[in-house]
Amino acid sequence: MPLYRLAFLLAVPLALLPGVRARPDISPKPEDLVYTQKGTLPVIVSAPHGGGKAVPGVAERRGVGIKLFTTARDGNTAELARTFAAELEKELGGKPWVVVARFDRKYIDANRPPDGAYEAEAAKPYYDAYHDPLTAACKAVREAYGGGLLLDVHGQGALPDVICRGTRNGTTVKLLKDRHGWRAVTGKNSVMGRLERAGYKVMPACDAGEDAREEVRFAGGHIVNTYGSHTGYAIDAIQVEVGTKYRDRDTYAKTARDLAAAVAAFHDEYLKK
C-alpha cells in the first residue's frame, strides 16, 4: 500500500477521536449574555441587574473613584421581566420588546453610563449588546407608535414590601404628562395605580398627588434617563424597583402577572392607537 494511502486511512479514524480535533470556542459571545426579544407592542421591558454569568476575559469591577458603586444583583428580576413579557403577550396578543442582562453586575452595570459601567475594554461589546437592542427597540416603537412605555425592572431590599416608581420625579414621562396629565402617571389606570389597586404598596402612593417626591435612591438611573420621553426617543420610561417580598422565588411570578395586567390596562387607556 502506498504510504499516502496508509496515512489517509490512519487520519480518518484519528479525526473522529474526541479531543483530536480543535475544540470549538464555547465562551459566550456578547449577544449570548443578553436576552432580547423583538416586539410588536409599544411596550419595552429592560432588566439590567438580574444576571449571574461571568463575562469572558473580564475581571470583576473594583469601582475605584465611582460614586454609588455596587455590584449587588437584583435577584429574580431577570425572571420577573421575562415572565412579565410572556404574561403581557397573553393579555394583549402581541409581544413587548425585551432586553434582559444575563451577565452579572459584578462585571458590567448596564444602568450606568459607559465610563462607570465597566473597567475593561473587553467588556464594551457586552455592554453594547445590552444598549444597542434597547436603542433599536425605542426607535422602532417611536416610529411605529409615536410613543410608548419602557419599564426598567429592578429590585431593592431597603423597602421590602414596596414597589417604588422612578421617573426622576416626572422627568422621564414628560410626553405622557403632556398628553394625558399627571393622572396617567399615578391615577387609577396608570401602571402604579393599577398595582396599588391590586394590593401592592407603591411609592409614591397614588393618592399622594403630583408633589410627592420619589424615593431618592430609586428615582431613576441611566436607562430611564437615557431613553425617557424628555429625550428624543418619545418613550415614557419608568424605573420599577420591586421590593424583596414581591420578587422571591415564590412571589415573582405573581408580581409579573399583576404587572402585566397593570400594563395591559395602561396600554388600553393610553397607548392604543
- For the chain, how long is the longest CA-to-CA vector? 93
**Whose Cβ is closer to Zn ion: residue 12's or residue 216's?**
216
Q: 30 vs 48, which CB is nearer to Zn ion?
A: 48
Which grid coordinates belong to 61? 469591577
Q: How far is the CB of 168 from Zn ion (least distance, A)?
A: 15
Which is closer to Zn ion, CB of 172 or CB of 177?
A: 172
**Please, what is the end-to-end C-alpha distance for the chain in angstroms?**
78
When asked if residue 258 is in the footprint of Zn ion (CB under 5 A), the reply is no
Q: Is 154 one of the binding residues for Zn ion (CB under 5 A)?
A: yes
Verify binding: residue 247, Zn ion, rule CB under 5 A.
Answer: no
Sole window of 53-61, 148-156, 186-194, 200-208 interacting with Zn ion (rule: CB under 5 A): 148-156
The DSSP symbol for 22 reads P
Contacts with Zn ion: how many residues (CB under 5 A)? 3
Pick left, alpha or beta for residue 202 (phi over 0 → left; psi -120 to 50 → alpha; otherwise beta).
Answer: beta
Q: Scanning the structure block, which residue is given the C-alpha cell 414590601? A: 161
User: Does 49 sit near Zn ion (CB under 5 A)?
Assistant: yes
CB of 112 to Zn ion, least distance (A): 10
Cell of 45: 421591558
Which residue of the chain is nearest Zn ion when measured via CB? 154
Shortest CB 139 distance to Zn ion, Å: 24
* Cis geometry, peptide bond prior to residue 204 (ω within 30 degrees of 0): yes
104 contacts Zn ion (rule: CB under 5 A): no
Q: Which part of the chain contacts Zn ion (CB under 5 A), choosing from 29-37, 48-56, 114-122, 222-230?
A: 48-56
Quick one: 83 or 156, whose CB is closer to Zn ion? 156
CB of 272 to Zn ion, least distance (A): 30
Q: Between vectors from CA 164 to CA 162 and to CA 166, what angle results, nearest 5°?
A: 175
CB of 81 to Zn ion, least distance (A): 11
Window of 113-121, 149-157, 165-173, 247-255 that interacts with Zn ion by CB under 5 A: 149-157
Q: Which is nearer to Zn ion, 74 or 214 (CB)?
A: 74
196 binds Zn ion (CB under 5 A): no
Q: Measured from the CB of residue 74, what is the shortest distance to Zn ion in angstroms?
A: 4
**Whole-angstrom distance, CA of residue 215 vs CA of residue 225:** 16
Q: Which stretch binds Zn ion (CB under 5 A): 69-77, 144-152, 193-201, 224-232?
A: 69-77
- Does 74 bind Zn ion (CB under 5 A)? Our answer is yes
CA within 13 Å, CB half, 206: 21
CA pair distance 47, 153, nearest whole angstrom: 5
User: What one-letter code names the amino acid at 49?
Assistant: H
- The DSSP string of 51-117 is B-BPPTT-PPP--TT-TT------TTHHHHHHHHHHHHHHHHSSPPEEEEE-BBTTT--TTS-HHHH
209 by DSSP, 3-state: which? coil
**How far, in Å, CA of 195 to CA of 263, rounded?**
9
Site residues, Zn ion (CB under 5 A): 49, 74, 154
